Amino acid sequence: MSRAWNYLTGEPILEGDVVKLGTWDAVVVAVINEDSPEFIDYIGEGIELKGPAFGRLHTEFINEDLVLVHRKDE
């Protein structure tokens, strides 16, 4: 069963969201569930972020450090 990925505020995490990870700026590049094309058994479900301070980062843990700044511009 796929997990629903949400910020601590309850809002869903969406691809393209501009976020802060602690003091780092980042963008959500993928929300990965079992049915996602990016899903790989050894990596598993999670959120993939991209930011200038760290490159790409896959995380399965959402805590108060991940904050939505604004949604992707349409």
CB 20 within 8 A of CB 13: no
* pLDDT tens-digit profile, the chain (74 residues): 567 899 999 999 999 999 999 999 999 999 988 777 666 665 778 899 999 999 999 998 899 999 999 998 75
CA distance 49 to 29: 6
